[in-house]
Chains A and B, each alone.
Chain A
Amino acid sequence: MLRIKSKEPQQIARMEKETFQKWIQELRPKIMQVGLNFFGNTDDAEDAAQETLISLWRYCERIDENRNIEALAIRVAKNSCVNLKRKQMLMTYSDESSLINIPPLLSPSPQEEMERKEENVALQKAIGMLNPRERTLFEMRQMEGLETEEISRQTGIPKASVQSMISAARKKVFNELKRRMNL
């Protein structure tokens, strides 16, 4: 069970590379299966898996080392598949006009990348204003996509309290983000 300690965020131990590598050995077959289900061939599934590992490490640098990252890994794997498919479609079409209305995912254009970064900085600053418990619950939902019941099971916090704390965290982040983004 994940115990959320009342520490400042910078005191929480971030995942070490060794721990990450152990996780990857265990999760690699599942990550590959996500790709195989999507592409139906090993080559593309391998490419997507490689991209998944790179993206996953970036996420893991931000979360507690004791966190179970399986749910996060599957989510990142799904995103990598869609991202790779989009790149393949861009290579197929000679002009982008037919794809212009499909939003970019993990690999946007340079301009989109810049806007994304600015918005993401604003989001991280907004999240930084949460207390450690609110932040952990917010991220368990936003990054890992865990349902309320699962968060409650993993943390030992009653379901009603989880819902209430996530709501409070979201409203704080939302108001701060609107202010920073001038919305």
Chain B
Amino acid sequence: MSNDEINKLIDKYLDGKTTRAEEQQLALAVSKPDALEEWKAISEMLGELALGEAIYDHLIARKKHHTFTLKLSWGIAASVAVLLGWGIYSHYLYQKENFAVLYINGIQMGNETQALSHSTETLSELFSQDDTESSLYELFNPE
């Protein structure tokens, strides 16, 4: 949020018109390390409970998104396994008559070993777990 947007939200807060979600957003904005000195009073008024709740809700939302991504990746992994199986079978058939090509993440695989290695690497990236630290850092250190 820009300083201008924060000041507008502060005015809305003092008019008693902000929602709880907006107050959480404001609590985050006025507690950042680069927050203006004049916002200290607002930060104090919003209270520590608003800030803590904002961080909690943000981390839970990130966790849910991550869980969805993991479930999606299981689906992808299953698909990769099927494709790999098909690729191996097709390779066998190719020796007789047919031809098939296996792609993973848009990259053409030359053989089974490469396919397995690439699948493993892709799934490891998807399955990396706790990103709490990066979530908190993003909240309070905007680029």
Contacts and interface: CB of A to CB of B under 8 A. Distances in A.
A163 B52 contact: no
Given A105-B51, A167-B14, A78 B57 contact: yes
Given A167-B15, A167-B16, A170-B16, A143 B137 contact: no
Per DSSP, are chain B's interface residues mostly helix, strand or loop, or mixed? helix
A143 B20 CA distance: 12
Nearest to B133: A89
B95 to A, nearest CB: 49
B45 A82 contact: no
Given A81-B56, A89-B133, A163-B17, A174 B41 contact: yes
A79 B20 contact: no
Contacts of B23: 145
18 contacts: A79-B52, A85-B59, A85-B132, A89-B132, A101-B141, A102-B136, A102-B140, A105-B51, A106-B52, A142-B45, A143-B47, A143-B49, A145-B23, A145-B50, A165-B16, A171-B14, A174-B14, A183-B38
Interface of B: 13-17, 19-20, 23, 31-33, 37-38, 40-42, 44-53, 55-57, 59-60, 132-133, 136-137, 139-141
